[in-house]
């Protein structure tokens, strides 16, 4: 026989028509625990059927893998790396605001086309996103960060016609354009890209060290 639990104080939200004294056993029997449990079960079933990802990540031979287990694993394995990436994006965004650097949607679309063209005419945006495991919003955000960094680090850079001529003469094998104007524009972008790559690591390390970042992960 189960041992009786002591009940210090129970407030039953019903009109005061019962007797003044009630035993702990009658209180436990009177509270509709059965219906509460049934209600919770129905709620979990509804959540599981309508939004499976909120509760279950997968079911393997009848054994569930819950979403909270997946989230904990992702946080443990990739949390620091992901957090550092997010911190970096915030720092770059703040630096862009200070410098008045703005990236338009037209620039993002142009960068999209440039990347897809470099992969071949048969590659669509949908194919590229599926292969990379990205949504279009994530891809566009990456492009926004890339273009922002390029603008920040190249705003004081001057590319002369002589620089372009020299690059075409020495690195023509890296260029794909055939029309003269397009070839010179491709060479100009390549020169800027190389200059940005050389500055990027030291620039970002300085930016990170000068910032006040408090992490709780």
Which pLDDT does position 67 carry in this prediction? 86
CB atoms within 10 A of CB 201: 9
Q: Flag whether pLDDT at 2 surpasses 80.
A: no
Cβ contacts of residue 82 below 8 Å, gap of 6+? none
Angle, CA 152 vertex, CA 136 and CA 106 arms, to 5°: 40
Domain spans in the chain, listed from the N-terminal domain onward: 24-67, 79-209
Mean pLDDT is lowest, of 46-50, 57-61, 87-91, for 46-50
182 compared with 29, residue with greater pLDDT: 182
- Rounded CA separation 123/121 (Å): 6
116-138: per-residue pLDDT in tens? Answer: 888 877 788 898 899 889 999 99
What proportion of the chain, given as a percentage, has pLDDT over 90?
53
- Rounded CA separation 168/188 (Å): 9
Q: Which long-range contacts (CB under 8 A, 24 or more apart) does 200-204 make?
A: 200/149, 200/153, 203/152, 203/153, 204/88, 204/91
Q: What is the mean pLDDT of the chain?
A: 82
Q: Flag whether pLDDT at 8 surpasses 60.
A: no
CB atoms within 10 A of CB 191: 19
Q: Are 136 and 125 in contact (CB under 8 A)?
A: yes
Cβ contacts of residue 66 below 8 Å, gap of 6+? 55, 56, 57
12-58: per-residue pLDDT in tens? Answer: 444 444 444 445 554 455 556 666 666 665 555 555 555 566 678 88
Q: pTM for this one?
A: 0.68
């Amino acid at each position: 026989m189960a041992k009786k639990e002591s009940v210090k104080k129970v407030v039953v939200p019903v009109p005061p028509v019962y007797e003044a004294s009630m035993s702990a056993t009658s209180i436990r029997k009177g509270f509709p625990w059965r219906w509460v449990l049934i209600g919770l079960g129905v709620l979990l079933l509804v959540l599981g059927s309508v939004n499976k990802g909120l509760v279950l990540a997968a079911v393997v031979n009848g054994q569930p893998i819950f979403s909270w287990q997946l989230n904990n694993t992702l946080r443990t394995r990739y949390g620091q790396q992901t957090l550092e990436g997010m911190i970096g994006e915030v720092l770059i965004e703040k630096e862009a605001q200070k410098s008045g650097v703005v990236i338009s949607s037209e620039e993002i679309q142009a960068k999209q086309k440039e990347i897809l063209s470099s992969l071949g005419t048969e590659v669509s945006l949908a194919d590229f996103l599926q292969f990379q495991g990205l949504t279009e919003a994530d891809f566009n955000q990456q492009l926004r960060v890339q273009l922002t960094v390029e603008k920040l680090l190249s705003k004081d850079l001057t590319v002369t016609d002589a620089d372009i001529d020299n690059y075409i003469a020495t690195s023509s094998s890296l260029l794909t354009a055939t029309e003269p104007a397009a070839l010179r524009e491709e060479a100009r972008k390549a020169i800027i890209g190389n200059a940005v790559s050389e500055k990027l690591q030291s620039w970002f390390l300085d930016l990170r060290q000068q910032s006040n970042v408090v992490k709780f992960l």
